[in-house]
Amino acid sequence: MSRLWSFLTATRGRDRLHWTDWVSYGYLIFGVLLMFGPVVWLVLSSFKSPNELDRFPPRFLPYAQETLEIEGFDSPLLAFIVTEGELTGEVVGQTRRAAGRAEVVLPADPETRIRIPADTLAPIEDVAFATENYTSLFERFNFLQFFWNSTFITVMATALMLLVNSMAAFVLSKYEFRGRTAVLLLVIGTLMIPQTVVLVPLFLIVTEMGMFNSLWGVIIPGAATPTGVFLLRQYMITIPDEILDAARMDKASEWKIFWRIIVPLSAPAIAVLAILAIMWRWNDFLWPLIVLTRTENFTLQLALNSFQGELQTDWPSLLAMTVLTLLPIACVFMFLQKYIATGIASTGGK
Amino acid sequence: MARVELKNVKKSYGVAEVIKGIDLDIAHGEFCVFVGPSGCGKSTLLRMISGLEPITGGDIRIGDEVVNRVPAADRGLAMVFQSYALYPHMSVRQNLSFGLENINTPRAEIERKVGEVAKMLQIDMLLDRRPKDLSGGQRQRVAIGRAVVREPKVFLFDEPLSNLDAELRVEMRGEIVALHRRLQNSMIYVTHDQVEAMTMADKIAVLRLGRLEQFGRPLDLYNRPDNLFVAGFIGSPKMNFIRGRVSGSDRTVMELETGERLTLPETGFAQQPGEAVTLGIRPNQLRAGEDGPITLEVATIEQLGGDSYLYGKLRNGTGITLHLAGQTSVRIGEVIAITPEIEAVHLFDSETERSLRLA
């Protein structure tokens, strides 16, 4: 902890701050605000009540107006403080409000209803987290179903993709055969074709194969990615051929060479690809949107989209679900980001 | 019995022919060394025998079987690679047992064999370490152990000592020879170092540019080289070559390019009067003195205490090395006379570069 602190407070100047300290810390703080500002805003907003969300100008923290339990009234009354007139400084409960006039009662005297101008009332507010935004996700929507769909697609697609890509990369990096360069160029060539271009043909194929409205329809088309093949191939090239020759002399089958030699030795690159694949699949929106039309098949991203109607948007649910959707990927990133950095450095850089 | 026989073996990559038809016969239990300068095809030839490199022509026979189409795994060979090629993610124990696991050896059997081999090679205390935690010499032992543990018919070594420092190399050289003596297997060993070849081999195959220059016992190669290349390659320091022509009137007289005249042996060589020849003489078979047929201007002297080496030039600029036992009083810049020992000279045809020695 002290090391972390001394790292975070490192300066160039010994006693006073050097001008570069100002610049670098200023830049870093700006960066933190730029990166984290929206996320923090999102998280705080997800705890705001619908009224608070509609409020203009918006406020940073979620507030909720306090209410008063007053005898003789079935439901709690909104609490206000009076700013002008006889009752200045008194806390009152509002019973009605119409045409600029408000009808209020004093908690001590619930029988007497007093009418005063509405603009002399200031609401009593306190920081309050509207956790019902979250609980309602589970009550009103089938959040767990969406979550399961997303998880299933992410896990299966990642596993399948790693298998297919590493086998392809093994072949393209370690076997000499006629047309190898052509195949490689083809793979790299597809990198240049945006997904949107092949969307319609892909959709037709998926429909013909009967995978429309099935989670497999999302999983299988993404099983082979040129990026993954290329990334792994570049890494596998660096594994010395002599090790494979040694394994062949050791009577290992090619399949065994792949599992026992190539896969363990490519672990850093495979880890990078796994992280990337998890992020791609989890955040994927366009393709699932096309293939999955029934609500019970929706992924989290699709469910989020469905909160946003043409006429009305369910902001509290949308925000709360966005936070829940971000959490797993943020965790993956937090724990594995050092592998991403080292892995990409050792695969792409070579 | 694991005799290895090559018949007119060829290899080409496209139009480039790298192995141009090699015939070899390595008897069972023989330690055969392939030696040659880099690019001569010796490693390729070894890989062709191993089966890792397909051949484009000829036959390879191991034991009684032609193995041209047999994959590397089924030829019953084991190979030690130049880079050791240990599996970096496996412990030494796993490295040794990987090959045995692949042929479905029972667990207990694997344990026993790995234990034996590890003990023999003194790596038994390293069994749980990873290759990256081993020194070069230890890695080398593990690589040899991995080959030994499978009890192959023939061992193949591809420049296994080239990554070790000089001291360790000498030590490992001795160990490999001792291993060969103990196992009594055939071994084929590739190196570019003729000292390794001379000290370890039962038979040496000298290769150049994909051709077999000579195949024979080390001292035969040293004493009776077939051609200029083998003469120059085997032996350290290198043999001296002096170019000239046999006198038109007397075949026992050689007229050197420097204008000097030298006596040639009357028998033993098939030199013809007037033929362009190259005389080869090893540095330790030249005598230095006041009188002699050839004059040499000394350019450099190396005094090692027990031996001295003189490096000089003939009148026409040909470099000559001279080995003297003990210490010498000759100084740089001095002109001395040298005499080749007549019974030790080699004579080659200057054009074909073949030895003129009569069988």
Neighbours of A179 (CB within 10 A): 9
Hey, are the CB atoms on B77 and A249 less than 8 Å from each other? yes
Indicate the residue of B50, B78, B87 with minimum beta-carbon distance to A243: B87
Of chain A, the percentage scoring pLDDT greater than 90 comes to 43
Residue B146, pLDDT score: 93
pLDDT at A67 over 80: yes
Report pLDDT digits (tens) over B48-103.
999 999 999 999 999 889 999 999 888 989 999 999 999 999 999 999 999 999 99
Give A251's contacts in chain B (Cβ within 8 Å).
Answer: 73-74, 99, 102-103
Q: Which of A149-153, A253-257, A272-276, B301-305 has the lowest mean pLDDT?
A: A272-276
Give A348's pLDDT tier (boundaries 50, 70, 90): very low
DSSP string across A13-32: SSSSPPHHHHHHHHHHHHHH
Token pair 């059997």 in the structure block, residue: B109
Contacts of B161 (CB under 8 A, 6+ apart): B140, B168, B169, B172, B173, B191, B193, B196
A208: pLDDT strictly greater than 60: yes
Contact list in B for residue A261 (CB cut-off 8 A) is 87
**CATH architecture of residue range(s) A67-123:** Roll (2.30)
Single-letter code of the amino acid located at A129: F
Whether residue B310 contacts residue B324, with contact meaning beta carbons closer than 8 Å, is answered with yes
pTM of the model: 0.80
pLDDT value at residue A347: 53
Please, where in chain A does CATH 2.30.30 lie? Answer: 67-123
Least confident of A166-175, A302-311, B169-178: A302-311
**Is the predicted pLDDT of residue B138 greater than 50, yes or no?**
yes
Q: Do A251 and B103 touch (CB under 8 A)?
A: yes
> CATH 1.10.3720.10 residue ranges in chain A?
141-347
Q: Give me the residues paired with residue B16 across strands.
A: B13
Name the residue facing B89 among A240, A251, A264 (closest C-beta): A264
Grade residue A258 by pLDDT with cuts at 50, 70 and 90.
very high
Does residue A270 register a pLDDT over 80?
yes
Residue B178 has pLDDT above 70, yes or no: yes
CB-CB contact of B142 with B149 (8 Å): no
Mean pLDDT of all residues in A273-287: 90
Mean pLDDT, chain B, integer: 92
What is the average per-residue pLDDT within A292-303?
90
Contact A249 B98 (CB under 8 A): no
A268 has a pLDDT exceeding 90: no
Domains and CATH numbers, chain B: 4-227 (3.40.50.300), 237-349 (2.40.50.140)
Using an 8 Å CB-CB cutoff, list chain B residues near A250.
73, 98-99, 102, 146, 150
CA distance B85 to chain A (A): 5
The answer, yes or no, to whether residue A110 has pLDDT greater than 90, is no
For residue B27, pLDDT beyond 90: yes
User: What's the pLDDT tens digit per position in A28-63?
Assistant: 999 999 999 999 999 999 998 888 888 888 888 888
**CATH class of the domain defined by A141-347:** mainly alpha
Say what the pLDDT of residue A350 is: 35
Comparing CB atoms, the residue among A249, A252, A260 nearest residue B78 is A249
The least confident of A10-14, A194-198, B254-258, B350-354 is A10-14
Q: Is the Cα dihedral B81, B87, B92, B98 positive or negative?
A: negative
Contact between B197 and B204 (Cβ < 8 Å): yes
Question: Is the predicted pLDDT of residue A156 greater than 90, yes or no?
Answer: yes
**Residue contact B85–A246, C-beta within 8 A:** yes
pLDDT of A40 reads: 92
- Distance, in angstroms, between B264 CA and closest chain A CA? 51
Contact B102 A256 (CB under 8 A): yes
C-beta atoms surrounding B107 within 10 Å: 10
B52 and A245: CB-CB below 8 Å?
A: yes
Interface probe, candidates A250, A258, A260, A266, chain B, greatest B C-beta count within 10 A:
A250
